[in-house]
Amino acid sequence: MANIRANGIQLEYDTFGSRAGEPILLVMGLGAQMLLWDEEFCQRLADRGHWVIRFDNRDVGKSTWFDAHGVPNVLQLMLDLQSGKALSTAYSLDDMADDAVGLCDALSLAHAHVVGASMGGMIAQTVAYRHPARVASLTSIMSSTGSPAVPPAKPGVIGRLTMPPPVGRQAVIDQAVETWKVISGKGYPFDEAAVRERTGLMYDRANHPEGQARQLAAILAHGDRSQRLTGVRAPTLVIHGEDDPLVPVEGGKHTHASIAGSELLLVPGMGHDLPKPLFGKLVEAISTHAKKAAARSH
């Protein structure tokens, strides 16, 4: 892993495969370190001839933290949003999209196939309309448009993201297990041992729950992207689990409806996660989409 200056901050990243391959930039979701892009998943993409880049978003992992801005009161922000008040946040999803492009600048990449999951999908969508020339293709996974017309998370699910952060390594791991049990799809076995191991690695690497609160504030403040998404011209693939309780499948369908010419891949039994038994299917879909887009542009 390496650290590089991009968009005025430091971003931690690493790569898989040969730089000669079509570049795929992986953008992860809320409070999630780049490790949530499993190494096997990344290597499978690299094995299909891609240069794969994953990175820590701002305020998570080993990228720049924004602790000087304090921890927002997320519940108050939700109330302010409902009452129509303008939200004041440390940064926006626009800034996070510019970070992704800044990383491409620092790596001397003219363009990349941008793949985002959850909040990362929101960031990837934003890159596609803010920086259209830099996006060879867009893949939005288990994400949404921010439209108030899209159904919210199922009851009780959103509360898991706004719970006070636990103190201590074991408590963090235990809470992560309970959260992933709730948001994972019922179509695939829940791998508790893998979640415990992964959470422990991330805790030891850079435990930083304050950043998740600021990222959630950025999501709330960004609002409805659906009108801006109508201007996206990059070839777009939307992937969504039919069993997603956190970002219901309607979010993926609305993203698909908002981006002209996009493709929609609905995955039965998949929730708000990337289960290992689906790696083959998802890697094939992302790689095929990227290669088709690259072929059309040459």
8 A C-beta contact, residue 185 and residue 275: yes
Question: Residue 217: which residues within 8 A CB-CB, separation 6 or more?
Answer: 72, 74, 77, 87, 89, 90
- Evaluate if residue 21 carries a pLDDT over 80: yes
pLDDT range class, residue 86, cuts 50, 70, 90:
confident
Question: Residue 169: which residues within 8 A CB-CB, separation 6 or more?
Answer: 200, 203, 204, 207
In this structure, what CATH number is given to the domain that contains residue 93?
Answer: 3.40.50.1820
Alpha-carbon distances, residue 109 vs 18, 38, 80, 136 (angstroms): 14, 23, 40, 11
CA pair distance 43, 255, nearest whole angstrom: 28
pLDDT range class, residue 12, cuts 50, 70, 90:
very high
Q: How many domains does the chain have?
A: 1
- Evaluate if residue 162 carries a pLDDT over 90: no
pLDDT range class, residue 159, cuts 50, 70, 90:
confident
8 A C-beta contact, residue 23 and residue 109: yes
8 A C-beta contact, residue 195 and residue 176: yes
Which two structure tokens, joined as six digits, stand for 63?
């990228």
In angstroms, how far is the first alpha carbon of the chain from the final one?
Answer: 32
Q: How confident is the model over 253-270, as pLDDT tens digits?
A: 999 999 999 999 999 999
Q: How confident is the model over 201-231, as pLDDT tens digits?
A: 999 999 999 999 999 999 999 999 999 999 9
pLDDT, residue 88, reads: 87
- Evaluate if residue 180 carries a pLDDT over 80: yes
Instruction: Look up the pTM and report it.
Output: 0.97
- Evaluate if residue 135 carries a pLDDT over 80: yes
pLDDT, residue 166, reads: 94
Element (H, E) at 158: helix 158-161
Lowest mean pLDDT among 11-25, 72-86, 232-246, 259-273: 72-86
**Selection from 117, 99, 136 nearest residue 41 by Cα:** 117
pLDDT, residue 87, reads: 86
Task: Tell me which amino acid residue 181 is.
Answer: K
Q: How confident is the model over 98-123, as pLDDT tens digits?
A: 999 999 999 999 999 999 999 999 99
The one-character DSSP state at 67 is G
Q: Give the DSSP per-residue string, 173-230.
A: HHHHHHHHHHHS-TTS---HHHHHHHHHHHHHHH--HHHHHHHHHHHHHH---HHHHT
Which residues constitute the domain of residue 159?
2-297
Looking only at the bridges linking them, the beta strands covering 9-16 and 263-267 are: unpaired
